Amino acid sequence: MVVTTPKHSGHEHPRPRSAAVVDDIIAQLCDLGYRDTEPRRLVISAVAAQSRPFTAEELCSALPCVGRATVYRGLRLLVETDQVCRILLEDHELRYQLSQPGHHHHLLCGVCGASADLEGCGAEDLLREAAAAAGFRMKGHLLEVYGECVECVED
């Protein structure tokens, strides 16, 4: 069971060990008017414990004591509050992952399933301009990058 998470030193969006992540997210949810419940904490804890993008089904399996509907509702709440982001694999399988601050795109490894963030690649501006050239006003986009991560290349 992977419960420990790397300790970052940044102060913009501290990512402390699992228990603290739960407290942090619960606190934010409470600020929004949601309640602090045991099942909710269990869901958040399980989400934080995942080392790879996971499916809703996997989360349900990891939480045999929590109702499947509760897991789905909790996951949806986390997505809606931007605590968790959705990831789309090449075969259109939907997976989830704890949100990183400011991330927008993912480098998804088809070998090990790992996900890395692709930041500041400038793709958005490029797209917006290209779209504008066609008279199109870009208001959003979906971008996932598939391939092999550092550790899986040349395996």
Q: Least separation, in Å, of the C-beta of 106 and a second copy?
A: 10
23, interface contact from a second copy, DNA, none, CB < 5-8 Å by kind: none
Instruction: Residue 32: count other Cβ atoms within 10 Å of its Cβ.
Output: 9
Instruction: Residue 111: count other Cβ atoms within 10 Å of its Cβ.
Output: 12
5, interface contact from DNA, a second copy, none, CB < 5-8 Å by kind: none
87, interface contact from DNA, a second copy, none, CB < 5-8 Å by kind: none
Residue (70 or 152) nearer to DNA, CB: 70
Rounded to whole angstroms, how far apart are CA atoms 143 and 146?
Answer: 10
Q: Which residues bind a second copy (CB under 8 A)?
A: 88, 90, 92, 94, 107, 109-110, 116, 118, 121-123, 126-127, 130-131, 134-150, 153
Q: Which residues bind DNA (CB under 7 A)?
A: 30, 34-40, 55-57, 65-70, 72-74, 76, 94
Q: Considering only CA atoms, which of 84, 64, 61, 65 is closest in space to residue 74?
A: 84
Q: Least separation, in Å, of the C-beta of 108 and DNA?
A: 16
109, interface contact from a second copy, DNA, none, CB < 5-8 Å by kind: a second copy
Rounded to whole angstroms, how far apart are CA atoms 74 and 68?
Answer: 10
Residue (21 or 78) nearer to DNA, CB: 78
DSSP string, 88-135: E-TT--EEEEEPPTT--EEEEETTT--EEEE-S--HHHHHHHHHHHTT
Q: 53, 95 in Cβ contact below 8 A?
A: yes
